Structure 1
Amino acid sequence: MIVSHIKSLFYLKGILRTSPISSSYVLLQQSSSIFTHKYCTGTVKKESFSVKYLIENCGFSPETALLVSKRVSFESSEKPDSVLELFRNCGFSDSQLRGIIGKVPSLLRSNPIKTIWPKLEFLLSKGASCSQLVEIVTRSPRYLKRSLADHIIPCYDFVKRFLPHDKRIITAINRCNGIICDSNMVSNVKLLLDNGVPESGIASLLHTWPRLLNLTKDQFSVAVEEVKKLGLDPSKSAFIPALYAKKTLNKGVWDRKVDVYKKWGWSDEAIDRAFSQHPYCMMKAEHKIEAVMGFFVNHLGWNSAVIAKNPVIISFSLEKRIIPRAFVLQHLQSRGLIKDTKVLRAFHIPEKTFLEKFVNSFKDDAPQLLKLYEEKMNLSS
């Protein structure tokens, strides 16, 4: 619908006419001598016009307008008017337009129908909503400077090899449109494939952490080798999250999390093994790590080495999974129905399975167990 609407607004031919000059422009003209002396001394007439236009039509401050005008100038409002009109009819706000023009001011000199609209229409044709379109372009307006035929479409088709559904590709682009703007994405994906990362791993990376693929080829290659040196197999599912963790966590954050684990008795070797097994254990916030370790060690009496061998536990929700299930296990132990609470599988299995095995199967205690479980879940909510 929006495609036909925009086309009708542009009469399928091209350019909107110049909008009437507003009263604020007249006021600006009246003070032109002062303005020119303060901001435009020594500049040519078209630069003065550009500054006034940027203030009048885009809402820039005089200082910002002067800076932007050094990167783009025009003597007529015809093209800028038609560019702004196209953006506004697509749902862009004035503040978003200022952000876009501030980053890529040359867009104001573009032909909106030949240069800008085809790239907007491309995303809409792939299922992008109006809000997604606005968000994608606002976040990275350089998308509109890339060639549709030579870059955007080839990159999109390359991504579709791993994410066959347009909806998933649009989601990935919305998270980082660098995957169809930058030149690094294709080479970085090929590097992963050459190292044995399966296509499912590439799909996971594109869908979850597409920004990682914006790294330069050299940066990305170094990161891949670093993770391989830790002993992670590129063909395994843990490799991609490990790559993300190592590249996005700075040394200070990484060292603080290492210190938290060491506080609970983990050695360097145990930390490396846990990371290799479940890289997400290093992506959790320090307070989350502390809370989970404290609950298992201090409240349940577990040895921290058990957690080190099963680091996925760190990723479980303390309030919605660990605590409610732990209280059920403690009740079963107090009734002599299980030997102890160190039942690892009780924390790994889905909720439905947990209720079947540790609640409903104990018929005499089932009502009380279910009440206890629900009380703890409600408290967490």
Structure 2
Amino acid sequence: MAAATLRSVHRRNSLLPLFETCRLRDLFFFSSSSVDPAAAVGVTISPDPNFMVEYLVNSCGFSPSEAAMFSKPLAHLRSTEKPDAVLNFMRSQGFDGAGIRKVISWKPNYLCYNVEKNLAPKFQFLRDLGLSESDIVDAILKNHGILLFNVQRSIVPRLEMWESLLGSRELVLKHLKKTTRFFHSSVEKTLHPNLKFLRDECGIPEERLSVVLISHPQLISHKPESLRDVVARADELGMPRQSRMFMWTVNILQRVSKERFEAKVEFMRRFGWSESEFSSAVRKAPTFIGMSLDMLRRKMDFLINVVGYTPSFIADKSNLLLYSLQKRVIPRFRVTEMLKSKGLLTGQAKFPYILQLSDTKFLEKFVLPHKENVPELLDILRVEGVCKGK
């Protein structure tokens, strides 16, 4: 099964022709024939090794200090022929000045690339996948490593593997446009070992893993030793690997450093949580450890000082911390308090239950039946932007 996931011969064969039939002529507005740099129109030749600083300022819009820093890898250049060709090509493909500066700041040596050999094939390949000009710009700004990769040896295997894992080409292209560093990790050195570790050593079923990867593909994009460290942290929290929450816990821990995690432990200790209560709360609702300390403070203050819950109750019902304070917790609490003041809410409807209802269900059960007698309920929700036009 792992081999089938990692390599699909059918997909590989269907992708390679895209590379082999690149229509480079569609991408060029200049001739690829050899040109004498000295005779090329607009090309500057200079014996001054620092002339690239001025070039980056005038041609790209960098500040002098930025240009001085980014020019260091370009100190060997004595002509603007290649940089001019790269900049002209990038502009022809829809990159504006800010986008070009971003790409160059990541790797100034892109200005040394041969457009026909190093850049155009990648753009044509992405175009053949069905991406528009603006899509390609977004994909490269999120995953500039595409410009580094060989189409046949690197881009195709990555595309093939992610398509197998996520289940569709559309999802792969969506992440390519929106997810930073989605395409950076090596199949053989990173993706394959991480998948093998999670499946074979951790016992995570493939379908459960796929559910997490569809929304968080970065989970297997980090170095294998980093993933092992995060799994060990999840184990320390007492999260069973068989639990459906295990992979979500690993995912959030991967995005929260040990230092930030320990800061959350100490912060919640001040609210009265024991270490075991903190671990229990994370096992039930791991997402809350990704919140800022300020947001956690505001939620804990409201739930304790306004709603009246004890810290231990919140630890036991840690999903309470996941709801939006302004859009859900506060307006629904105000609605329930008003209903209680009118004698319209019995003690059977518990606030945690009320919070977990969808907006539609909440309106149907607690607002609309009383809108004639208590019109203020709709006003509360409109003020908070929860209810519009009801």
C-alpha offsets along residues 311-338 of structure 1, whole Å, 9 cap, x if unaligned?
1111111222112222232233330640
Equivalent residue for 1:338, pick from 327, 343, 346: 346
Alignment pair present for 1:69 and 2:87? no
Matched with 1:120 is 123
Q: In the alignment, residue 93 of structure 2 is paired with which amino acid?
A: C
- Secondary structure of the structure 1 residue equivalent to 2:309: coil
Matched with 2:3 is none
Alignment of 1:79-90 (within 5 A): 79-90=82-93
C-alpha offsets along residues 127-146 of structure 1, whole Å, 9 cap, x if unaligned?
43433422332454332121
- Secondary structure of the structure 2 residue equivalent to 1:344: helix
TM-score by length of 2: 0.76
Select between 325-334 and 55-64 the one with higher mean Cα deviation: 55-64
Alignment pair present for 1:238 and 2:245? yes
Measured at CA, do residues 155 and 284 of structure 1 come closer, stay the same or move farther in structure 2, by a change above 3 Å?
A: same
Shift in Å at residue 164 of structure 1?
2.6
Equivalent residue for 1:150, pick from 148, 153, 160: 153
C-alpha offsets along residues 97-145 of structure 1, whole Å, 9 cap, x if unaligned?
3443454444444442333222222333334343342233245433212
Shift in Å at residue 232 of structure 1?
2.0
Alignment pair present for 1:221 and 2:225? no
Measured at CA, do residues 316 and 307 of structure 1 come closer, stay the same or move farther in structure 2, by a change above 3 Å?
A: same
Q: Which runs of 4+ in 1 moved over 4 A?
A: 3-6, 11-19, 50-62
Distance of 1:5 and 1:377 partners within structure 2? 56
Select between 206-215 and 151-160 the one with higher mean Cα deviation: 206-215
Contact 1:6 1:89 in 2 (8 A): no
Contact 1:281 1:314 in 2 (8 A): yes
- Between Structure 1 and Structure 2, how many residues are aligned? 354
Contact 2:22 2:125 in 1 (8 A): no
TM-score by length of 1: 0.78
Shift in Å at residue 84 of structure 1?
2.7
Runs of 5+ consecutive residues of structure 2 not aligned to the other structure: 1-20, 386-390
Contact 1:15 1:112 in 2 (8 A): no
Equivalent residue for 1:374, pick from 378, 381, 386: 378
Measured at CA, do residues 4 and 190 of structure 1 come closer, stay the same or move farther in structure 2, by a change above 3 Å?
A: closer
Q: In the alignment, residue 199 of structure 2 is paired with which amino acid?
A: L
C-alpha offsets along residues 177-230 of structure 1, whole Å, 9 cap, x if unaligned?
534232223322332233233445444544444444332111211212221332
Q: In the alignment, residue 42 of structure 2 is paired with which amino acid?
A: I
- Secondary structure of the structure 1 residue equivalent to 2:165: coil
Contact 1:15 1:113 in 2 (8 A): no
Measured at CA, do residues 305 and 145 of structure 1 come closer, stay the same or move farther in structure 2, by a change above 3 Å?
A: same
Shift in Å at residue 151 of structure 1?
1.5
C-alpha offsets along residues 64-96 of structure 1, whole Å, 9 cap, x if unaligned?
5751323x546682x544333221111123443
Contact 1:55 1:65 in 2 (8 A): no
Alignment pair present for 1:163 and 2:162? no
Contact 1:326 1:341 in 2 (8 A): no
Alignment pair present for 1:353 and 2:361? yes
Distance of 1:347 and 1:97 partners within structure 2? 46
Contact 1:87 1:97 in 2 (8 A): yes
Distance of 2:136 and 2:287 partners within structure 1? 32
Measured at CA, do residues 187 and 140 of structure 1 come closer, stay the same or move farther in structure 2, by a change above 3 Å?
A: same
C-alpha offsets along residues 225-283 of structure 1, whole Å, 9 cap, x if unaligned?
22133222344442233223323323443233223322332221111011011101211
Matched with 2:283 is 276
Structure with larger Rg: 1
Distance of 1:16 and 1:379 partners within structure 2? 68
Q: In the alignment, residue 8 of structure 1 is paired with which amino acid?
A: D
Q: Give the structure, 1 or 2, with the largest relative contact order (CA under 8 Å, sep 6 or more).
A: 2
Distance of 2:59 and 2:362 partners within structure 1? 62
Measured at CA, do residues 273 and 323 of structure 1 come closer, stay the same or move farther in structure 2, by a change above 3 Å?
A: same
Runs of 5+ consecutive residues of structure 1 not aligned to the other structure: 41-47
Q: In the alignment, residue 67 of structure 1 is paired with which amino acid?
A: K
Identity %: 23
